[in-house]
Structure 1
């Protein structure tokens, strides 16, 4: 199973997000989950389970420096840090703390990206030959 996890860590949370919908339309076999900084414990538990059970996962993090509380997603990040190779983190926006965490782990695949380039990166990572 492949997974796409969209984490919205911005102050202005929108109900509908184009990128998760586009991933779902173009890649119907990919499990898509959209969460934000205010998601409850049950949703975060499901996201963690999705990461653990997927063969490959792309985690798209939309962040801004105004949102400093990322404690709720730390278990997700720890899972990603422990499973290098089968996951890719795409970071949109400026979040110095999160960027430092990613840069300090050379085994983690991550890239800073703009949303309009995300679909190509998702496709390339999920469907490249192992």
Structure 2
């Protein structure tokens, strides 16, 4: 199974995420889930389970420079730090702390992208198995 997890940590989250809809439409075989900073524990549990069960996963984190609280994201981050997993982490926006965290882990595939680049990166990464 291939998966796409979209994590929105911005203050102006909305129910409709065009990036998520585009990935779902472009890659119907990829399991898609989106969460935000206010997602409850059950939804966070599903996100973690999706990451653990996926053979290949792309995680896109949308963040702002002033986003402070990463506490709810820590179980997901810890899962992403596991070695030997096929995962790509995309950071949409500027967040110095997340950039340092991922840059310090050479075994994690990590890229800073714009919103327009997210779908193309997912297609490139998940399309390798097709």
Matches within 5 A, 1:38-53: 38-53=38-53
Contact 2:9 2:67 in 1 (8 A): yes
Question: SS where residue 78 of structure 1 aligns?
Answer: helix
Query: How many residues get paired?
Result: 130
CA distance in 2, matches of 1:14, 1:66: 18
Unpaired runs of 5+ residues, structure 2, are none
State the TM-score, normalizing by the size of structure 1.
0.95
Contact 2:3 2:58 in 1 (8 A): yes
State the TM-score, normalizing by the size of structure 2.
0.95
- Where do 4+ consecutive residues of structure 1 move more than 6 Å? none
Q: 1:31 maps to what in 2?
A: 31
Shift of 1:85: 4.6
* Bigger shift: residues 80-89 or 4-13: 80-89
Unpaired runs of 5+ residues, structure 1, are none
